[in-house]
């Protein structure tokens, strides 16, 4: 497979179409490297999106029809969701550990796959993330974006019924599963670091080349290569401590429920013109790709956690009832739970009383009955 140049906005030497013929400059080694990255991009995209031609965002291929071909899209733990900040459970999770996020890749490609724009990279140090809600090390796969027709909506997850104009998804697979394809077969196979965007009055300089390259990939299945590849850190917000996290799914078919979502609270700032550049991309049928977000799904029995630096009693997340230390008055450790607090319990969302709590009232009732009978007997003896 060779790259063909496609003149566009003066960046023709960095733009190519999948499967095209013709020559490419830069020598044999550069050509081989470019072909390897192109093949890797195709493999990654096919893994994450399944059969790309089988879904869209409008009409017969829209989200309401995805379940007709992909059963998982009608599951009970789907994404995205609306996160109510008043209903989240505040926690102190271990710090997230980011490795390789500050290392600029050797090569980074930007691809319009007809549904979104995707970034793949080749680096001497593959970015990984661990810690927080994650058990194990997760390795970078790709990143992509979701946006809307205008600046009032476009993100997939919502915060307090608010949609942001755009959302960034950085996809990682669990290292022990070797690759993204096999990771789809495990409930903890993937994690997605999600960042929201807000509109600022001026351009974000860290996205300058990124936005310029979008002009080279307007058509579906076009790719462009960065002259100066950015590190992941260059594209992200600064606050990586405060975030929401929950268990969910891919937001595109096959909608596999294998994703630990980590939604960072602090948004990234872009200008209106920078976000508008995404809306100029075209889908597989040549129509403007003005929106590519899935509607929110029912949260069901899930509880969203919010990581904070506030001091909170640490509780094992996978225990239904944390063990009570022997010989210690637990009322001194934390205040009694209110009805609203119990409604947030990740294992008892319906706020039903635990059976052991109901049973504990019977011995007390029996004692009062015996005491009343004893008083009656004493009164009878006195009268005699």
The pLDDT, as a whole number, for residue 312 is: 72
354 as an active site residue: the answer is no
Q: How many residues does the chain have?
A: 384
24 in a structural domain:
no
113-150 per-position pLDDT tens digit: 999 999 999 999 999 999 999 999 999 999 999 999 99
Q: Which structural domain, as residue segments, surrounds residue 195? A: 80-307
Q: How far is residue 126 CA from its own chain's centroid? A: 20
Coil, strand, or helix at residue 58?
Answer: coil
29 in a structural domain:
no
HSE-CB of 327 using CA atoms within 13 angstroms: 0
Position with higher pLDDT, 314 vs 59: 59
Average confidence score pLDDT of the chain: 79
27 in a structural domain:
no
Inter-CA distances, 122 with 2, 34, 119, 144, 375, Å: 18, 10, 10, 16, 85
Active-site choice (77, 115, 146, 169): 115
Task: Give the count of domains, the chain.
Answer: 1
352 in a structural domain:
no
10-20 per-position pLDDT tens digit: 333 344 444 33
96 in a structural domain:
yes
246 in a structural domain:
yes
Q: End-to-end distance of the chain based on CA atoms, in angstroms?
A: 110
Inter-CA distances, 42 with 33, 142, 281, Å: 14, 11, 19
The pLDDT, as a whole number, for residue 366 is: 47
- The band of 378, judged by pLDDT with boundaries at 50, 70 and 90, is low
**CATH number of the CATH domain containing 105:** 3.10.200.10
261 in a structural domain:
yes
Inter-CA distances, 4 with 20, 109, 122, 203, 339, Å: 6, 15, 20, 31, 64
| Rounded to 5°, angle at Cα 275 from 147 and 151 | 65
pLDDT above 90 covers what percent of the chain?
A: 66
168 in a structural domain:
yes
């Amino acid at each position: 497979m060779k790259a063909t140049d496609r003149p566009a906005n003066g960046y023709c030497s960095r733009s190519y179409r999948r499967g095209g013929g013709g020559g490419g400059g830069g020598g044999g080694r550069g050509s081989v490297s470019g072909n390897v990255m192109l093949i890797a991009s195709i493999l990654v995209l096919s893994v994450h999106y399944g059969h790309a031609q089988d879904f869209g965002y409008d009409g017969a291929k829209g989200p309401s029809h995805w379940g007709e071909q992909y059963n998982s899209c009608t599951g009970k733990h789907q994404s995205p969701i609306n996160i109510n900040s008043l209903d989240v459970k505040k926690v102190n999770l271990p710090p997230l550990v980011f490795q390789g996020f500050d290392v600029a890749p050797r090569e980074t490609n930007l691809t319009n796959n007809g549904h979104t724009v995707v970034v793949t990279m080749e680096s001497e140090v593959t970015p990984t993330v661990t810690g927080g809600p994650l058990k194990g090390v997760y390795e970078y796969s790709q990143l992509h974006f979701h946006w809307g027709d205008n600046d009032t909506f476009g993100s997939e997850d919502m915060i307090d019924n608010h949609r942001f104009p755009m959302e960034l998804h950085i996809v990682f697979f669990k290292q022990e599963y070797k690759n993204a394809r096999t990771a789809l077969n495990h409930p903890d196979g993937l994690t997605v670091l999600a960042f929201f965007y807000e509109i600022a009055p001026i351009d974000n300089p860290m996205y300058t080349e990124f936005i310029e390259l979008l002009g080279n990939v307007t058509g579906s299945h076009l790719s462009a290569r960065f002259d100066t590849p950015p590190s992941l850190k260059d594209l992200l917000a600064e606050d990586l401590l405060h975030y929401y996290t929950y268990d969910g799914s891919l937001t595109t078919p096959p909608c596999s429920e294998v994703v630990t979502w980590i939604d960072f609270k602090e948004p990234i700032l872009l200008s209106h013109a920078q976000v508008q550049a995404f809306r100029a991309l075209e889908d597989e049928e040549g129509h403007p790709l003005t929106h590519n977000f899935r509607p929110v799904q029912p949260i069901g029995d899930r509880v969203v956690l919010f990581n904070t630096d506030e001091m909170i009693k640490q509780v094992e997340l996978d225990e239904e009832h944390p063990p009570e230390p022997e010989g210690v008055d637990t009322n001194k450790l934390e205040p009694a739970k209110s009805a609203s607090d119990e409604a947030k319990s990740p294992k008892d969302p319906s706020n039903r009383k635990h059976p052991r709590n109901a049973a504990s009232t019977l011995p007390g009732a029996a004692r009062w009955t015996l005491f009343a009978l004893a008083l009656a007997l004493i009164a009878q003896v006195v009268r005699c």
